[in-house]
Amino acid sequence: MAMVFKAWEDLTIQDNYMFQRVMQDKSLCKQMLEEILNQPIRDIQYMENELTLKAGYLSKGVRLDVYIEDEANTIYDVEMQVRNDDGDALPQRMRYYQSQIDAEALAQGKDYSELRKALIIFICPFDPIGRGWHLYEYENLCTRDTSMHLGDGTTKIILNTKGEGTNISPQLQSFMNYVNGVASLDPFVQALDNRVNEVKHNEQERVNYMTYLANIRHAEKKAREEGREEGREEGKLLNMIENVRSLMKSVPCDAKRAMDLLNIPLPSREKVIAQL
């Protein structure tokens, strides 16, 4: 399904492009993390803006929205996840993001023991788990004794901005409401809203967004074309397989003789044999 993009004027913090740009304000990004984790963070550093790990726009690589580290050497990947498709497999997506972050570290020559503590945080304007909670937090635990942590340094947090109850701080609730499109006089929300408006009034940002859309549309088109080509190749292969089967029955002969008689190209013969 093709991606649907909003006009520049209609973007909100829910949109990945705007979320990324707002979170480039270090103080806002740091405060967001502090509200989510309910603990102070002395400092954060951006590891790489919109990091791409083995990825194109539509590939199975990972393009990270906000990729940062704190003074304790902990990695944070924060994603604005607004799609709620049945096949989106959000838990598996989080697992894949974690694996790609770890693979990137190992590719840089790190040893397993050097893999850093990492938190994957998804902000969702829907409830992907279905319990109605504002916040779901997962770690790897022993199923026989849940007091035993595996200690692999990974944590996954899902924020459900449509959650109900009073189990979170008023500040975090105000942030969630803002993601849902409801502003307030909360200082953090006001700062976020001001930043959104600053980005919207920046003409260069508008141009960057248009380029961003053009790149993704080009990637979509290329993917469709590659898909059609793959379909044509698959059709040719199925036709060759059927012809070989028919000839083997009618002559009769073995597969090699049938492919010789039909002039099946050598590069295709192994695939034909595998499907007979």
pLDDT of amino acid 118: 94
Please give the sequence-ordered ranges of beta strands (E in DSSP) within 71-142, or none if there are none. Answer: 75-80, 118-124, 135-138
pLDDT, tens digit (0-9, with 9 covering 90-100), for 12-49:
999 989 999 999 999 999 999 999 999 999 999 988 64
pTM of the model: 0.75
Tokens (6 digits) for 253: 């002969």
Instruction: Give me the mean pLDDT over the 171-185 stretch.
Output: 96
Structure-token match 């059709």, residue found? 235
- Burial of 181 per CB tally in 10 Å (0-12, 13-18, 19+): exposed
pLDDT, tens digit (0-9, with 9 covering 90-100), for 152-174:
999 999 999 999 888 899 999 99
pLDDT of amino acid 87: 58
Instruction: Give me the mean pLDDT over the 54-72 stretch.
Output: 65
Residues 6+ apart with CB under 8 A from 103: 53
The rounded mean pLDDT for the chain is: 86
Which residue type does 7 have? A
pLDDT of amino acid 2: 52
pLDDT of amino acid 49: 45
Structure-token match 């199923």, residue found? 143
Q: Above 70 in pLDDT, residue 241?
A: yes
pLDDT of amino acid 169: 94
Please give the sequence-ordered ranges of beta strands (E in DSSP) within the chain, or none if there are none. Answer: 44-46, 52-53, 62-63, 66-70, 75-80, 118-124, 135-138, 154-160
Query: Measured between alpha carbons, how far is 155 from 84 in angstroms, rounded to an integer?
Result: 22
Query: Measured between alpha carbons, how far is 236 from 76 in angstroms, rounded to an integer?
Result: 47
pLDDT of amino acid 195: 97
Structural domain spans, the chain: 8-183, 220-275
Which residue type does 274 have? A
Q: Evaluate whether 42 touches 35 at the Cβ level (below 8 Å).
A: no
Q: Evaluate whether 51 touches 65 at the Cβ level (below 8 Å).
A: no
| β pairing state of 52-53 and 62-63 | antiparallel
- Greater pLDDT, 191 or 256: 191
pLDDT of amino acid 151: 93
